[in-house]
């Protein structure tokens, strides 16, 4: 009798969900009892420890060279184990250039979580990345349907082969191939965690095409969208998983490129310079006083963050004014027709 399997997955647009289902289907074929659980649909703070002898898997997209916070915190809080086996998978932004499949970059996604699971007493049996298409349509148009289907066919086979090995009791650590580049990119993952993701969370807005169906609010895996002034408003809980933007039935969610560029210029050229000039007038920081310098730098960051919070609220308010709404609309690249939305391949789901 093979160990029962529980897979916990998080997914924005369906790639990681599909990998979890392919893995579970392989277990079904091998008559191994299994369950694939979407962590967005459960009480993440009250997880029961896995039964002794069972196998646990975690599957999630990669966001900013790490697991998204929802999955990271889930693993941090996950109950300890006395020797249960565990595997980790991440889906990344795979590309296809001509006939070549180009992999994404995991960063610390697998390594940090592997370390946490080891400390908690798990025995790691597998670490693998799966290079499904990128869903990050704030920065590039959605991948064409034909290319998606081709990448999907390849990744499904890779996932099934990996699952068969793990379920047959083998150890597979394919991720070690990328360890050097993953660790080198570590500083960027830290930058994304503390700064980048908050800027991205404030990059969405709903256009006039929105009919207030509230589907985006109901389907957000972390309940990040609120209704403010009778239109969707993105809060800092947003993980930029791209589900809302890719699935809005009216294609009414866009990325506010004009606003983001404008506000970053304002912060860098105006507010930060003004802040530093003020600091210079008030105090002289001795060259060797690291604490004072750190305090001033941190204050600068807090100020930057405060500007982002206030400006997004103002931006949201200004969307009421037709002329400004048009200006924001025309400076969003995602509004243009050629900027496709991302849909995972139905054929291979």
- Binding site residues, ligand SF4, CB under 6 A: 12, 206, 210-216, 220, 222, 224-225, 232, 234, 238-244, 248, 250, 252-253
What minimum distance in Å lies between the beta carbon of 11 and ligand FMN?
Answer: 3
DSSP state letter for 133: B
Q: Which is nearer to ligand FMN, 3 or 132 (CB)?
A: 132
Number of residues that bind ligand FMN (CB under 6 A): 26
Q: Which is nearer to ligand SF4, 240 or 348 (CB)?
A: 240
55 binds, among ligand SF4, ligand FMN, none (CB under 5 to 8 A by kind): none
Question: Which positions from 298 through 337 interact with ligand FMN, judged by CB under 6 A?
Answer: none
213 binds, among ligand SF4, ligand FMN, none (CB under 5 to 8 A by kind): ligand SF4
What minimum distance in Å lies between the beta carbon of 254 and ligand SF4?
Answer: 10
248 binds, among ligand SF4, ligand FMN, none (CB under 5 to 8 A by kind): ligand SF4
Cite the DSSP H helix spans in 129-170: 145-167
Q: From residue 89 to residue 108, what is the string marking binding to ligand FMN with x (rule CB under 6 A)?
A: --xxx----------xx-x-
What minimum distance in Å lies between the beta carbon of 55 and ligand SF4?
Answer: 29
Q: Is 223 left (phi over 0), alpha (psi -120 to 50) or beta?
A: left
Identified binder of ligand FMN from the candidate list 16, 27, 167, 220, rule CB under 6 A: 16
List Cβ neighbours of 149 (8 Å cut-off, separation of 6 or more): 345, 347, 348
Terminus-to-terminus CA distance in the chain, angstroms?
29
What minimum distance in Å lies between the beta carbon of 125 and ligand FMN?
Answer: 22
- Sheet strands (E) in the chain: 5-9, 34-38, 55-61, 85-91, 95-97, 100-102, 123-130, 204-206, 225-228, 231-234, 253-255
DSSP state letter for 4: P
Q: Which is nearer to ligand SF4, 10 or 111 (CB)?
A: 10
Task: Please check whether residue 226 is in contact with residue 244, taking contact to mean a CB–CB distance below 8 angstroms.
Answer: no
Q: In what helix (H) or strand (E) does residue 307 lie, and over which residues does it extend?
A: helix 290-318
Q: Directed axis angle between helix 145-167 and helix 15-29, to 10°? A: 40
What minimum distance in Å lies between the beta carbon of 224 and ligand SF4?
Answer: 4
Pairing label, strands 85-91, 55-61: parallel
Q: Which is nearer to ligand FMN, 55 or 110 (CB)?
A: 110
For the chain, give the number of residues.
349
Task: Please check whether residue 85 is in contact with residue 122, taking contact to mean a CB–CB distance below 8 angstroms.
Answer: yes
232 binds, among ligand FMN, ligand SF4, none (CB under 5 to 8 A by kind): ligand SF4
- Segment interacting with ligand FMN, rule: CB under 6 A, options 61-69, 170-178, 222-230, 253-261: 61-69
Nearest position to ligand FMN, beta carbon? 104
Q: Which is nearer to ligand SF4, 40 or 56 (CB)?
A: 40
Question: Which positions from 157 through 216 interact with ligand FMN, judged by CB under 6 A?
Answer: 200
Q: Which is nearer to ligand SF4, 190 or 217 (CB)?
A: 217
Give the distance from CA 329 to its chain's centroid. Answer: 25
Q: Which is nearer to ligand SF4, 20 or 40 (CB)?
A: 40
Task: Give the closest residue to 42 by CA, choosing from 74, 12, 76.
Answer: 74
Half-sphere exposure of 127 (CA within 13 A, CB side): 20
Dist CA 246 CA 212 (whole Å)? 16
Q: What residues make contact with ligand FMN under the rule CB under 6 A?
A: 11-17, 61-65, 91-93, 104-105, 107, 132, 134-136, 200, 240-242
């Amino acid at each position: 009798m093979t160990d029962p399997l529980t897979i916990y997955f998080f997914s924005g647009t369906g790639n990681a969900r599909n990998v979890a289902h392919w893995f579970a289907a392989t277990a079904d074929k091998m008559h191994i009892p299994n369950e694939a659980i979407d962590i967005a649909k459960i009480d993440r703070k009250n997880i029961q420890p896995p039964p002794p002898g069972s196998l646990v898997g975690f599957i999630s997209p990669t966001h900013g060279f790490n697991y998204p916070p929802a999955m990271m915190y889930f693993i941090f809080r996950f109950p300890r184990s006395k020797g249960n086996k565990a595997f980790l998978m991440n889906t990344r932004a795979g590309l296809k250039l001509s006939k070549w499949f180009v992999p994404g970059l995991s960063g610390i996604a697998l390594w940090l979580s592997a370390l946490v699971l080891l400390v908690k007493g798990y025995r790691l049996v597998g670490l693998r990345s799966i290079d499904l298409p990128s869903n990050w349509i704030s920065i590039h148009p959605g991948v064409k349907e034909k290319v998606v289907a081709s990448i999907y066919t390849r990744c499904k086979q890779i996932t099934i082969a990996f699952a068969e090995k793990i379920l047959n009791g083998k150890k597979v650590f394919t991720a070690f191939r990328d360890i050097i580049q993953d660790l080198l990119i570590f500083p960027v993952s830290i930058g994304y965690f503390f700064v980048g993701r908050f800027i991205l969370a404030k990059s969405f807005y709903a256009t006039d095409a929105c009919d207030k169906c509230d589907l985006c609010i109901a389907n957000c895996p972390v309940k990040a969208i609120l209704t403010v002034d009778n239109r969707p408003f993105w809060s800092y809980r947003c993980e930029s998983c791209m589900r809302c933007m890719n699935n809005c039935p009216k294609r009414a969610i866009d990325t506010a490129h004009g606003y983001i560029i404008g506000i970053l210029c304002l912060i860098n050229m105006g507010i930060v310079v003004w802040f530093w000039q003020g600091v210079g007038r008030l105090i002289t920081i001795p060259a060797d006083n690291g604490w004072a310098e750190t305090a001033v730098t941190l204050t600068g960051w807090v100020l930057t963050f405060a500007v982002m919070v206030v400006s997004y609220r103002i931006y949201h308010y200004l969307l009421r004014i037709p002329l400004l709404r048009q200006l924001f609309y025309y400076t969003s690249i995602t509004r243009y027709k050629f900027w496709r939305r991302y849909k995972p391949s139905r054929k291979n789901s």
